[in-house]
Each structure stands twice: as structure tokens, then as C-alpha cells.
Amino acid sequence: MAKAIMLQGTGSDVGKTVLVAGLCRAAKKRGLKVRPFKPQNMSNNAAVADIPGDNNAAGGEIGRAQWLQAIACGVAPTVHMNPVLLKPQTDIGSQVVVQGKVFGEARARDYQAMKGRLMDAVLESWAKVGEGADLVIVEGAGSPAEINLRSRDIANMGFATRANVPVVLVGDIDRGGVIASVAGTHLILPEKDRRMIAGYLINKFRGDVSLFDDGIKAIEKFTGWRCFGVVPWLKAAARLPSEDSVVLERLVSGERRALKVAVPMLGRIANFDDLDPLKAEPQVEVVFVPPGQRLPEDAGLVVIPGSKSTIGDLLKFRENGWDRDLLAHRKRGGHVVGICGGFQMLGRVVRDPDGIEGSVTETEGLGLLDFETVMEPEKIVRNSSARSVQFDLPLEGYEIHLGRTTGPDMARPSAVINGADDGAVSSDGKVMGTYLHGLFSADAFRAKFLESLGVKGGGIDYRAEVERALDEVAAELETHLDCDAIFGLAR
């Protein structure tokens, strides 16, 4: 079994995902065979990964963060890198994905009772991830200080103690109160868990780091833990795919550019990293529009992203008045793209006769394209090779969706995926829908698509840009952290 270390946070959104990705890349550059692992993740931003040993499966689901971390390691992602994925469908319930496949649905309280069985899957995947590796870097979830959930924990100390993995605690100074959050974690952890923590690091520091010298002394006084370093605000991290929709709340507006792209922030938004390649374009401004705000009238393109709850988000879309904004956008000659759940919303009706997504079994669509979608139990999960029909250019991406879409406008497909027609395009070519996630990552297609909107693409190699950003994050961590000591903890 490979040696391992684990990063746990004093809370959610402290930057664990980027730090693990950066440490994975740093270890790779040192010549180590390194792998990422996250026992339990909660996200509707999923990726398609290999299912080792299952020749009949096209692929399974993992969190998009573990996909990125695998890229940082220079290896293909597998479902064992994130054995338990929770995909929220309502405020109190989630779809549970185990080792890449749908295991069932559970309300929050029911899921706690389910965890005992899930730990077996976590430990099985843990053993498989370590095969042939020198080092595994593990990412926790939320905070180990949630002691009310400790007895059935599989994500933080429950896993670390079972697998005997040393822990580095991550504190986020940007949100304030970092001394209290680190010292408070030490205070309330039981002694058995406290012994697993070898030290801590401070993340997202802005300004003169020497100003925190007294803070390090204070934390040492309260905890006895050593500090492995203070990481500055990592500008390169903004060029990496984001998994947490919390990030979108900070991206409501941006610098004025040639093309404004408006993206409604759906309640169950999924795979919003589809927009990252557009955000990287120098002439494109991507604006995420929160509930309660109008879609901007000066947007040239509206992108309706994926959704984990198509009918529920479609109803909220109307409540926000975005349906009226969208029709006005169309009358002004604006373009619209719908991806996956967003594509389904563009049709005449969405039906869910079996109540797969919830209690509402049918709702009227936005009516921009002439088709209907019926939700079906079988879930499509696969990486896909495709070709744009409109521009006759290659596409690569992935599909994760329920539902079968049929109707007259499907006779004008937007793409051919794995040899089959996909999606639809309006008669004037200004409304396009597809089930293909990742289409904007194809550089030639993105440039041609933007050209059709009157904008010159920046000639960006998006995948190379992600690789460069990972290298820059790794370099920053090597500079500001005692990586020798952190890697030396592994056992």
C-alpha cells in the first residue's frame, strides 16, 4: 500500500481542493507516482471516470475536483479516487453515487444511517487507489470538528483513523477568524482524533506574511501544532475548474468585454465548469446571474447550464422571471445555448412520469425549440467523441444525464456524438441545445462559435492553460510550504 497524507479543513471552501491538486503536481514533479483520493464528496459538478475491471460500463461518476487532481497527477481518473459522491437534488436529500454508480437516494438523516455500509466501499477503493503508487494525497470534506457527525464519519477523522493517515489541517485566513478556527478545532476534537493532526497550514493570505508571525505563535501556544507554511492568495487557482458553486457567488460581474455571456445560477446547477473555457477568452465576459436579478439586456449570449433537478430548476427559472427575460433576449436577436438539463428546458415540455426527480411529474418548457423530454431511469454516463454539425469541427466531452428527448427540431442536430445525432438547433441557428458537457473546451469549435457571434477568439489552448495553472500552483506551494516536511509525514 502506498504511503499517504491527508488535508482536512477547519471548514468548507478553505481551499483544500486546489491545495491537494497543487501538492499532487508538486509530488509528480519530484518523480513520485502520486494519486488523489477523497472518501466522500458532495457536488453536482461531476466528471466521467474509468471503472477498473468493468468492461461493460462506459464510465462512472466522480467529483470534478478529483478529476482535476488526477490530471495534476498525470493519470487517468478512476471511480475509486472518489468512492462516495453525493449529488444534492433537494435541500434535504441527495442522489448517492458509490464507486461511480447510482446507489440510491437518501435524505440527510437516512444517509447518516447508511454510512456504515459505505465505509466498506471507501476502504475497498482506498486499497485500489494505492496500488502501484508511491504517495496518495487525501482530501477531507467540510471539517473534522463536526463532532455531532463523528460517530459515523467516513470523510474526515473516521477515515483517517481507520486508514492510519496523518492529517494536515487547513485554515482559511481570507474569511477571518483563522486563529480561532484552528485553535477551536484542537479544543473540541477528541484526543484520538487530535493525535492524527501533525500540524496545520494557513491558506489564502494577502499582504505581508510577517504580520502573521504572532498568529503562528498564538496557534502554537493553544495547540502545540507546528505550522507548515502560509500560502498566499493563488491567482493561478482562478484558471482552474471550480467545483463548488460558492465560487459563483463571487463571479456575478466582471470586466466589460466584447461579448457578455449571461448564465442563470440555477438552484441545482451542475457542471458549471462548462463555462470555464469561455471565461478564459480575453474578449468574453461571463456573468453568473443570481436569483432575484434580471438577465442583463446587453448580453449577446445566454447559456443555460446543467441541472440536477431539471423540472425544479425550470419552475424556479419562471419564478425569477428569467423566462420573460429570455424571450426578450431572443427578440433582440440574442443567442442561446442549453447544455444537458439546460437543453431539456429549451423544449416544449419536460415529463417525469416516474417521479425520478421529485413530485412534479410535468411542466411546460421554455418553448425555444420544438421537442419534449421524458425522464427515464437509465442514466447515461460516458466520455464521448463528437462533431459539431454547424461548424463541422471535432468536439470532445462527456455525458451525464437522464431523459430521452424527441421532437421535430431534433431533425436539426447540433452534434453527432459517438455516431448518433444529438441536440437541436433552431431554424435561424441562434438557439442550440446539446447533451454534451465540455464542448467549449474544444479550441477550434470555441473560436468558430465565438466568430459566429462576431467575436474573435483568443487562440487559447484551454487544456494547456489548465496544465500551466497547475504548474504555477505547485511552484507556489513549493515556495511557501515546507513540502519536504509535509511529504515526509506520509506513512
Q: Are residues 274 and 306 in the same domain?
A: yes
Cβ(62)–Cβ(43) below 8 Å: no
Structural domains counted in the chain: 2
pLDDT-derived band at 479 (thresholds 50, 70, 90) equals very high
Residue 160 lies in a domain: yes
- Provide the residue range defining the domain that includes 164: 3-238+468-485
Cβ(27)–Cβ(135) below 8 Å: yes
Cell of 328: 426578450
Long-range contacts of 346-351 (CB under 8 A, 24+ apart): 346/304, 346/424, 346/431, 346/433, 347/371, 347/372, 347/373, 347/405, 347/407, 347/433, 348/372, 348/407, 349/373, 350/310, 350/311, 350/314, 350/375, 350/403, 351/375
Cell of 79: 471511480
Cell of 183: 485553535
Q: Are residues 374 and 430 in the same domain?
A: yes
Q: Are residues 201 and 328 in the same domain?
A: no
Residue 246 lies in a domain: no
Measured between alpha carbons, how far is 395 from 439 in angstroms, rounded to an integer? 6
What pLDDT is recorded for position 57?
Answer: 66
∠ CA 380-462-264 to the nearest 5 degrees? 60
What are the start-end ranges of the H helices in 30-177?
Answer: 64-73, 108-130, 157-163
Residue 204 lies in a domain: yes
What is the per-residue pLDDT across 304-338, written as a single tens digit (0 to 9) for each? 999 999 999 999 999 999 999 999 999 999 999 99
State the chain's mean pLDDT as an integer: 94
Q: Are residues 267 and 352 in the same domain?
A: yes
Q: Are residues 127 and 74 in the same domain?
A: yes
Residue 247 lies in a domain: no
What is the per-residue pLDDT across 378-409, written as a single tens digit (0 to 9) for each? 999 999 999 999 999 999 999 999 999 999 99
Secondary structure letter of residue 50 according to DSSP: B
Residue 278 lies in a domain: yes
Q: Are residues 219 and 84 in the same domain?
A: yes
The set of catalytic residues is 340, 437
Structure-model confidence comparison of residues 416 and 243, the more confident one:
416
Measured between alpha carbons, how far is 430 from 318 in angstroms, rounded to an integer? 21
Q: Are residues 216 and 353 in the same domain?
A: no
Measured between alpha carbons, how far is 319 from 325 in angstroms, rounded to an integer? 12
Measured between alpha carbons, how far is 193 from 191 in angstroms, rounded to an integer? 5
Residue 491 lies in a domain: no
Q: What is the pTM of this model?
A: 0.93
Q: Are residues 280 and 212 in the same domain?
A: no
Q: Are residues 231 and 267 in the same domain?
A: no
Q: Are residues 451 and 472 in the same domain?
A: no
What is the per-residue pLDDT across 120-151, written as a single tens digit (0 to 9) for each? 999 999 999 999 999 999 999 999 999 999 99
Measured between alpha carbons, how far is 229 from 168 in angstroms, rounded to an integer? 11
What pLDDT is recorded for position 458?
Answer: 78
Q: Are residues 382 and 445 in the same domain?
A: yes
Please give the radius of gyration of the chain, using alpha carbons only, rounded to the nearest integer.
23
CATH code: domain of residue 286: 3.40.50.880
First to last CA, the chain: 10
DSSP 3-state assignment of 52?
coil
What pLDDT is recorded for position 113?
Answer: 82
Q: Are residues 229 and 126 in the same domain?
A: yes
Sign of the torsion formed by the C-alpha atoms of 308, 310, 311 and 315: positive
CATH code: domain of residue 71: 3.40.50.300
Residue 197 lies in a domain: yes
What pLDDT is recorded for position 457?
Answer: 83
Residue 245 lies in a domain: no
